[in-house]
Amino acid sequence: MDSGYGITVLTLFPDLVREYFRTSIVGKAVDRGALVPRVVDIRDFARDRHRTCDDAPYGGGAGMVLMAEPLASALDSVDAKAQHVVFPTPSGLPFRQVDAARLSRKDGLVLVCGRYEGIDQRIVDEYVDDEYSIGDYVLSSGELAAMVIIDAVYRLRDGMLRSESIREESFQDGLLEYPHYTRPETFRSRSVPEVLLSGHHARIVRWRREQQLIRTARNRPDLLRHVQLDEAERKLTESIRDKESDDECNTGG
Ligand code: ADE
């Protein structure tokens, strides 16, 4: 990857977002120039001396709405209309690994972080390309969701990680990941599964696939609909699903 991936975040909490870009693996990507962050404080574009950015919703109701004018000025200041704009919101489409992959192929991103009840819909209509939810719960503001999206996207850029580990990890093949072990061989009388010490590559690959199927059948059976299974795999996942639903009936869960 030649030039860095530009990520612009519009926020009312610039310190929170700046800290994220300074930290850990993301911080290293920024130091290398692989990731080029820009954090814009929406309040700098407020129209009054109190730096007001929110107001009561038309039609009544609880909470406050981010006003169109400061947001539009902030977006124009970064030439957002020429870029791909993402708005994290609990009302958006579920954000998935395939979306992260698609966004990682853009030249860069602009993320708009909302606060309070949301942002003026006219901003969404005029500027936003994608609205994404990171899960079925409501956060107090969009910054954490924006950071989740950024994290999932930037690491997929070419050269960010060994392509092998990207290829093997959860969701790339539609299944959850298999369990991992490292030294020591025995920890508090729990031993590493024998097959992983066998040096027998084909057996290891088979064991890992089986573990992926077991985990996925237990934790995310919905994902199995999109995965091609052979006869033995289908039987294995069905037996786990049957057992899980029996357990639920017996515990009243
Ligand atoms: N903002 C608040 N909650 C959110 C969620 N679940 N996903 C994305 N953005 C949000």
134 and 196 together in one domain: no
Q: What is the rounded CA–CA span in Å between residue 94 and residue 97?
A: 10
Give me the CATH number covering residue 20. Answer: 3.40.1280.10
Range list of H helices, 198-230 = 201-219
12 and 96 together in one domain: yes
| Residue at 60 is within a domain | yes
Give the ligand 1 atom nearest the CA of 142. Answer: 1
10 and 111 together in one domain: yes
CB count within 10 Å of CB 52 equals 13
**Nearest Cα to Cα of residue 26 among 15, 36, 38, 40:** 36
Q: What are the pLDDT tens digits along the chain (253 aa)?
A: 457 999 999 999 999 999 999 998 999 999 999 999 999 999 999 999 999 999 999 999 988 999 999 999 999 999 999 999 999 999 999 999 999 999 999 999 999 999 767 899 999 999 999 999 999 999 999 999 999 999 999 999 865 554 656 666 667 689 999 999 999 999 999 999 999 999 999 999 999 999 999 999 999 999 999 999 999 999 999 999 888 888 888 776 5
Phi-psi region of 106 (alpha: psi -120 to 50; beta: other; left: phi over 0): beta
Give me the CATH number covering residue 236. Answer: 1.10.1270.20
| Residue at 114 is within a domain | yes
Distances (CA, A) of 71 to 14, 146, 240: 14, 16, 50
| Residue at 129 is within a domain | yes
Domain residue limits at 56? 5-163
131 and 243 together in one domain: no
Q: Judging by DSSP bridges, how do beta strands 190-191 and 186-187 pair with one another? A: antiparallel
Is the CA virtual torsion 115, 101, 73, 31 positive or negative?
positive
98 and 38 together in one domain: yes
| Residue at 173 is within a domain | no
CA of 130 to the centre of ligand 1 (A): 13
pTM: 0.91
- List residues near ligand 1 (CB under 6 A): 88-90, 133-135, 137-139, 142, 145
244 and 151 together in one domain: no
9 and 129 together in one domain: yes
Q: What is the rounded CA–CA span in Å between residue 162 and residue 158?
A: 9
144 and 212 together in one domain: no
| Residue at 50 is within a domain | yes
The number of domains in the chain is 2
Range list of H helices, the chain = 14-22, 24-32, 68-77, 97-104, 121-127, 143-154, 163-168, 194-197, 201-219, 231-251
Mutate to test the pocket of ligand 1, among 12, 116, 134 (most ligand atoms within 8 A of CB): 134
